[in-house]
Each structure stands twice: as structure tokens, then as C-alpha cells.
Amino acid sequence: MSENERWTVKCQETADGTGDVIVDLPPELLARLGLGLGGELTIEMVDGAIVLKPKHNTSSSS
């Protein structure tokens, strides 16, 4: 996936008073990121946009 590619999705309020939101990511986007069920993302704010990136597990089990 290109660093310049952008996707726009809507946030859904959880309505539980926490201020949390749910973001449904389209299956096509998850596939392009190589993510599936249980995949992890990093999140950061860059120039007013929320940027999500795949978090790849770098630890190895022995």
C-alpha cells in the first residue's frame, strides 16, 4: 500500500459514556494491510489526520 493512500471511514459512538468510538475498517483495506482477525494497529495523529499502521510482532518465541 502506498504511503500516500487515504481512506475515509466513519466513527460510531459506543454510547456507553466512555467517549470511545468504533471504527469499521473495510475488508479491502484490511487485506491490503495484510491484517486479519486479531491484527494490531498503531495509531497516531499526523497533521490533523488519524494514521493507522499495521503493528507487526517482532518478538520470537523460543
46 found inside a domain: yes
Q: Tell me, what's the pLDDT at 62?
A: 47
12 within 8 A of 22, measured Cβ to Cβ: yes
CATH of the domain at 26: 2.10.260.10
60 found inside a domain: no
| Domains held by the chain: number | 1
61 found inside a domain: no
3 found inside a domain: no
43 found inside a domain: yes
Q: Tell me, what's the pLDDT at 16?
A: 96
Residues spanned by the domain of 34: 11-54
How confident is the model over 15-53, as pLDDT tens digits? 999 999 998 889 998 898 888 888 899 999 999 888 888
Q: Tell me, what's the pLDDT at 60?
A: 52
Q: Tell me, what's the pLDDT at 44?
A: 93
Residue 8: pLDDT band with limits 50, 70, 90: confident
Going from the C-alpha of 53 to that of each of 5, 9, 14, 61, the distances in angstroms are 12, 15, 23, 23
